Amino acid sequence: MVPLFLILLVSSNIMVHALKELPPGLSYEGTVHTTDHVRFLSDLTYMDDNGKLKMEHEIFERINSAITEADKFIVLDMFLFNAYYKQDGDYPKITDTIANALITQKQKHKNLDVWIITDEINITYGSHKTSHLERFEKEGFNVVYTNLEPLRDSNPIYSGFWRIFFQWFGQSGKGWLPNPLAENAPDVTVRACLELLNLKANHRKVFISDKTAIVSSANPHDESGFNSNIAFEMGGTVIGDLLTSEQAALDLSESGRLPALKGVPKTGELNVQVLTEGKIQKHILREIDKSAEGDTIWVGMFYLADRDVIEAMDAAGQRGATVNIILDPNTNAFGTQKAGLPNIPVAAELIERGNDNLHIRWYNTGKEQYHSKLIYFQRDNEDVVIGGSANFTRRNLDDYNLETDVKIWGPSTAPVMQDVGQYFTRLWNNKGGKFTVHYKENQNTLTPIKYIGYWLQNIFQFTTF
């Protein structure tokens, strides 16, 4: 009788928390704003033609300078904000640089309203504190760790057991286990490790001020400092929509009200729209489904695993659209060897379908990751680009993680479209460096064990993708 009761209890818990209604304001589809001012930013790490490592990084340089321009408010919502690392690799000091810039600007402008919104992964779910975020609190910043409990369970089978048997013990206390996320991070509790396995995240990467806004795929995290990433900077009334989307994230923790910004609507040749969570997938699929012969779809992606997106891209190729995909091989993370999941089996599946219009190249990664999350549609009349924090995976697109992307559309002659187009052709054709390699370079790394592991993770949803 007791086992039956437990089975029913866990099963009902799994169903309720996997299917429950989203909190208000999430899965947000903003107003369409017009402007002439959208800027594409990128970070690139690559080998030049002489085999020398090169870095062309501009995202955090721009965020750093944007901090110095703000005098009323700053909202920074970043998944990772710490200087921890698994292996000492002389990483760029991004975290210190951004932290020092924020504190300096606050000291210059005493009334500057600074909000730092981040994920509890930075404190390993209450096991320890982190020096940068403690400094912010001492300076009078509003530091908010996102409460992810109201979100749907992306790892439902495990989370069902965790909710029944483990969540009641909490996570705080003196840790004694080595931190699974970083060698130089403080020890953690068993309870924190159990919390980590729920695989929930505030995965957003957004900078907002009274002057400008930047939506990015990059984290201010030292160990991520070599990664290749993308971002879009924009101003005007779209900032108000980004603040609205961030208020929804803040409301999960019941942590106050963000500042408001009322701009004057402007005209321009570009359309800009803020998308979060599941609305990102909605617009990606809409644009893929519209693509046909004569159109080109460019994808630059860290993780590709969402079945709806995979099927839609294959179908677009069958209709005659050209689909060019640049993927991270998922074989290295911060110097640690990885299994190549999900991209290697997904790429193999797409290539085996024999779609002559669908092409895949691997980013030529070293110790860094190709961490971009970007899709670009080239058409005769109007180009469309969607980019930001969201990988093309179930967790990122199906209303589980918190994510923010921006959608931009307008004439192909617009500078932002020209810049995105040049970015992709440079990487695809290896102009000025060895950015990408042929699909066959990683073809032989797909073993039966990896393939089975990939599908088992998909079936049981016990996966980071």
What average pLDDT does the segment 204-225 reach? 98
Q: Which residue has the tokens 């932290």?
A: 99
Cα–Cα distance, 44 to 58 (Å, whole number)? 9
Query: Which residue type, as a one-letter code, is found at position 314?
Result: D
Residue 272 has a pLDDT of 98
Tens of pLDDT along 355-401? 999 999 999 999 899 999 999 999 998 999 999 999 999 999 999 99
Beta-ladder partners of 336? 333
Beta-ladder partners of 359? 324
Residue 1 has a pLDDT of 59
Residue 2 above 60 pLDDT? no
What average pLDDT does the segment 163-182 reach? 81
User: Helices 278-290 and 307-318 meet at what angle, rounded to 10?
Assistant: 10
When pLDDT is cut at 50, 70 and 90, the band that residue 172 belongs to is: low
Say whether 112 sits in a helix, a strand or coil: coil
Scanning 221-291, the segments in alpha helix (DSSP H) are 238-251, 278-290
In the chain, % of residues over pLDDT 90: 78
Which residues are CB-contacts of 141 (< 8 A; sequence separation ≥ 6)? 102, 106, 114, 115, 116
In the chain, % of residues over pLDDT 70: 97
Cα–Cα distance, 196 to 193 (Å, whole number)? 5
User: Helices 448-460 and 343-352 meet at what angle, rounded to 10?
Assistant: 100
Handedness of CA 254, 260, 265, 271 (dihedral sign): negative
Handedness of CA 387, 390, 393, 399 (dihedral sign): negative
Residue 167 above 60 pLDDT? yes
Q: Are the CB atoms for 222 and 93 separated by under 8 Å? A: yes
| Single pTM value for the model | 0.96
Q: Average per-residue pLDDT in the chain?
A: 93
- For residue 176, what are the CA distances in angstroms to 162, 172, 185, 228, 282? 21, 12, 12, 34, 44
Q: How far is CA 334 from the centre of its chain?
A: 17
Q: Are the CB atoms for 277 and 148 separated by under 8 Å? A: no
Q: Are the CB atoms for 133 and 96 separated by under 8 Å? A: no
- At the topology level, CATH places domain 270-460 in Endonuclease; Chain A (3.30.870)
Tens of pLDDT along 94-111? 999 999 999 999 999 999
Residue 41 above 70 pLDDT? yes
Helix (H) or strand (E) holding 431: none
Query: Which residues of the chain form CATH 3.30.870.10?
Result: 1-19+30-253, 270-460
Helix (H) or strand (E) holding 344: helix 343-352
- At the topology level, CATH places domain 1-19+30-253 in Endonuclease; Chain A (3.30.870)
Beta-ladder partners of 373? 301
When pLDDT is cut at 50, 70 and 90, the band that residue 454 belongs to is: confident
When pLDDT is cut at 50, 70 and 90, the band that residue 90 belongs to is: confident
Residue 6 has a pLDDT of 75
**Which tokens belong to 120?**
């509890």
Residue 182 has a pLDDT of 85
What average pLDDT does the segment 35-47 reach? 97
Cα–Cα distance, 83 to 132 (Å, whole number)? 9
Q: Are the CB atoms for 204 and 79 separated by under 8 Å? A: yes
Residue 171 has a pLDDT of 62
Q: Are the CB atoms for 113 and 250 separated by under 8 Å? A: no
Q: Where are the beta strands (DSSP E) in 349-426?
A: 358-363, 373-378, 383-388, 404-410
Cα–Cα distance, 251 to 59 (Å, whole number)? 28
Scanning 22-145, the segments in alpha helix (DSSP H) are 59-69, 94-108, 131-138
Which among 157, 190, 228, 95 is positioned nearest to 103, based on CA atoms?
95
Cα–Cα distance, 35 to 266 (Å, whole number)? 6
What average pLDDT does the segment 326-332 reach? 93
What average pLDDT does the segment 215-228 reach? 97
